Amino acid sequence: MPMLKETKRLADRALSATDGHPAEISIQSADSALTRFANNEIHQNVAQYDTTISIRVGVNRRWGIASTNDFSDQALEKTATEALEIAKAIPDSNRYAKLLPAQPYALVAGYDVDTAEHGPMQRAAAVRTILDRASSEGLAAAGAYKVEIRGRTVANSEGLFAHHIGTTAELMAVAMDDDSSGHARQISSQVQDINPDVVADEAVSKALAGRNPKDLPAADYEVVLEEFAVSDMLDFLGYAGFGGLSVEEGRSFMSGKLGTAIAGPNITIWDDPLDHQGIPRPFDAEGMPAHRVDLVKAGVAVSPVHDRVTAAKVGAESTGHALPPQYPIGPLPTNMFLGPGNTPKKTLITSTKRGLLINRFWYTRVVHPLTMHMTGTTRDGTFLIEDGEITSAVRNLRFTESYLAALNQVEMISAETKLVRDFFSVNRVPALKIQSWHFTGS
């Protein structure tokens, strides 16, 4: 992993290869190690390291970009030339933004030495805890334990220089029987937060409780969504509607609705890349300092996240949520939080007359982005609740439901929260009790 001085020298060399043109340098490094297991055995232990440098060169109102992981002077000059030729060949862009000048950044302690040095024997010991627990119950366990160091540097010809290195550790397990499965996962920037005993107990207990599932007819049921299912809701809300570009283009559920209620008054959602309860980062892909953005406050749509281009369109300021320029989907929230309640999680279950406890969703897809109707299935732990008690396992069910409509029917929110990595974002979320959820079949 290149350190600060080494990265600064590399950025300066890349800038010198651009022959005085407006230029931006982005350096991304990943040093990751993975222990993967299945059928109660570790079957793969791998490590990978790579650093990529992207050079973006501007001509008039056009930006060209090219990348390489060869850091020789010849390679940097060739990459800069390719970026310049691309900029000359493409048409003018209505999404052009000038380079950002030097910026101040908040101090973010996202790097943990113990995590960075967490080796294969330590990962194997954690995995062994899961394998022993599963095998003792006649279950087969599968999953992965990943430790990663990620670095990002942004520099440009206007004098901006931003550099950050962060760590993550993530342990995931699925325990399986012939007719049931249970899932558990933990993620943190600090490996000492990962507890393999808790992961093992969650996955195994759900698989054991899920044996002999019964069929349940398609209908509307009251549901208690555990944190993994709630995180899926936030993840897709962020992807489909909390970004400035989707709002600008009229394809977001927030388009034309800022300042109006879109969820229940007990729902507050925000994005905060600086919060150490998530996976912190001090700046975005443009080098813009990150800060908290209130997305939904007491049910009212407040603001999407912005990069400098989408912010300029509406006369706002960038919120520090730009993605790398090779991603054309615009800014997205990547560190979301759903405000917790003051109810113990177990009370969500004991207060339910007849409903379903759902561990997580699977294969969820957007049906209609303006209403956030989604379709998907339950997975790895679906249970029937009757008179406040879990009475039986249920076969997985398919649903079609509006995530927004569901957030207007939240009866209870747990006081406990969990950090969950999803496809687009990392989210800290509570569990939710929701009045009605529409299931279409098993």
| pLDDT, tens digit, 9 for 90 and up, residues 115-173 | 999 999 999 999 999 999 999 999 999 999 999 999 999 999 999 999 999 999 999 99
Return the DSSP state at 212.
S
217 and 194 in a single domain? The answer is no
Domain match, 129 and 275 both: no
Residues 128 and 169 in one domain: yes
Task: Give bridge partners of residue 184 from the DSSP assignment.
Answer: 173
Contact between residue 410 and residue 432 where contact means Cβ atoms under 8 Å apart: yes
Q: Is the dihedral of CA 246, 247, 252, 254 positive or negative?
A: positive
pLDDT of residue 92: 82
pLDDT band at 335; cut points 50, 70, 90: very high
Residue 251 in any domain: the answer is yes
Single residue among 140, 171, 198 that ends a domain in this structure: 198
- Kindly state whether residues 112 and 231 are assigned to the same domain: no
Question: Does 138 lie in the same domain as 51?
Answer: yes
Q: What tens digit of pLDDT does each residue of 93-117 get?
A: 777 788 999 999 998 888 999 999 9
pLDDT tens per residue, range 189-224: 999 999 999 999 999 999 999 999 999 999 999 999
Residues 361 and 246 in one domain: yes
The structural domain count of the chain equals 2
Task: Take residue 98 and report the two structure tokens written for it.
Answer: 């000038």
Q: Classify residue 255 as left (phi > 0), alpha (psi -120 to 50) or beta.
A: beta
**CA gap 204, 184 in Å, rounded:** 9
DSSP 322: P
Residues 22 and 127 in one domain: yes
Is 181 found in the same domain as 299?
no
Whole-number average pLDDT of the chain: 96
Q: DSSP characters for 269-304?
A: EEE-TT-TTS---SB-TT-PBP--EEEEETTEE---
Identity of the residue numbered 191:
V
| pLDDT higher than threshold 70 for residue 1 | no
Q: What is the pLDDT of residues 228-246, one digit of tens each?
A: 999 999 999 999 999 999 9
205 occurs within a structural domain? no
318 and 352 housed in the same domain: yes
pLDDT of residue 109: 83
Question: What CATH number does residue 142 fall under?
Answer: 3.30.2290.10
- Whether 173 and 235 share a structural domain: no
Q: Which residues of 212-224 are buried (b: 16+ CB within 10 A; e: fewer)?
A: ebeebeeeebbbb
Tokens of 439: 């299931």
- Residues 57 and 103 placed together within one structural domain of the fold: yes
Q: Check residue 96 and give its pLDDT.
A: 79
* CA–CA separation, 339 and 297 (whole Å): 9
Q: Tell me the whole-structure pTM to 2 decimals.
A: 0.96
Residues 242 and 121 in one domain: no
Q: What single-letter DSSP state applies at residue 177? A: -
For the record, the structure tokens of 156 come out as 């440009």
Parent domain of 86:
4-198
- CA Rg value for the chain: 23
